[in-house]
Amino acid sequence: MPKPPANRSSASDIRRFLKKQTDIVEFVSRTPRLIFAIDATASRQPTWDTACQLQRRMFEASQQIAQLSVQLCFYRGFAEFYASSWCNDARSLGSEMTRVHCEGGHTQIARLLRHGLAEHGTAPVRALVFIGDAMEENPDTLCNLAGQCGLSKLPLFLFQEGRDRLAEQTYRSMARLSHGAWGRFDQGSAATLERLLGAVARYAAGGRKALENSTDPDAKLLLQQLKP
């Protein structure tokens, strides 16, 4: 028995559908985006819980300015790299982080930067935040990619755990070339880092003006490192 003909959508139904899709695209494009990336190799396990808490508070700080969409990225183990979907819910992203465990492996910072540039090419990303303690890659390659981030207006905010001299030198150069900022990360400075991450989130949500209008000294400190 032949099937009855399917009901056809009217012209007004099609217009409503297309408008809904356009509204969704416009909303996504207007929502400030930030990539929050963490080195999840074995050496980072002792401070992973701290990073999870800071990420959640960074979200809360950004909500004072505007809704912020965040993507969680991390690398670990043997060439494992993960990028979450874009999310504007601090709790769900925080829960995702708590399910992650660190594994031994080499750094994949170049891979992270290429991913950030690809995402930025699809839709603007206001900032890329990275927390790490090592650098096992070619510094020239990383600095070249950081320079590309700078040209593309994707600033890098690099927070270093520990005091590895080569990592610090490279991170500082990457921050400068991308027109971003560098800072220290350790258990003793967690409160300071929390405020700095809050300032980064405000920058991502509201731009330089959000920092200029802030009375927070950490926001002023961050502003000093940022190039116009």
Q: What is the pLDDT of residue 225?
A: 77
Whole-angstrom Cα distance, residue 122 to residue 170?
27
Label residues 69-96 b or e (16+ Cβ within 10 Å = b): bbbbbbbbeeeeeebbebbbebeebbeb
| More confident: 44 or 75 | 75
| More confident: 20 or 63 | 63
| More confident: 121 or 20 | 121
Nearest by Cα to 135 from 186, 102, 171, 159: 171
Whole-angstrom Cα distance, residue 112 to residue 157?
13
Structure confidence at residue 176 as a pLDDT band (50, 70, 90): very high
**Mean pLDDT value across residues 70-98:** 86
Whole-angstrom Cα distance, residue 38 to residue 47?
11
- Name the 3-class secondary structure at 204: helix
Residue 220 has pLDDT above 80, yes or no: no
For residue 48, give both structure tokens. 């992973």
Whole-angstrom Cα distance, residue 198 to residue 77?
30
Residue 128 has pLDDT above 90, yes or no: yes
Residue 203 has pLDDT above 50, yes or no: yes
Mean per-residue pLDDT over the chain, rounded: 80
Find residue 70's DSSP bridge partners: 34, 87
Domains of the chain: 33-223 (3.40.50.410)
Residue 31 has pLDDT above 90, yes or no: no
Q: Record the pTM.
A: 0.79
Whole-angstrom Cα distance, residue 130 to residue 196?
13
**Mean pLDDT value across residues 65-69:** 70
Structure confidence at residue 64 as a pLDDT band (50, 70, 90): low
Find residue 38's DSSP bridge partners: 74, 131
Which region among 10-24, 41-55, 140-154 has the lowest average model confidence (pLDDT)? 10-24
H/E/C letters for each residue in 125-178? CCEEEEEECCCCCCHHHHHHHHHHHHHCCCCEEEEEECCCHHHHHHHHHHHHHC
Beta-carbon contacts of residue 168 (< 8 Å; ≥ 6 apart): 160, 182
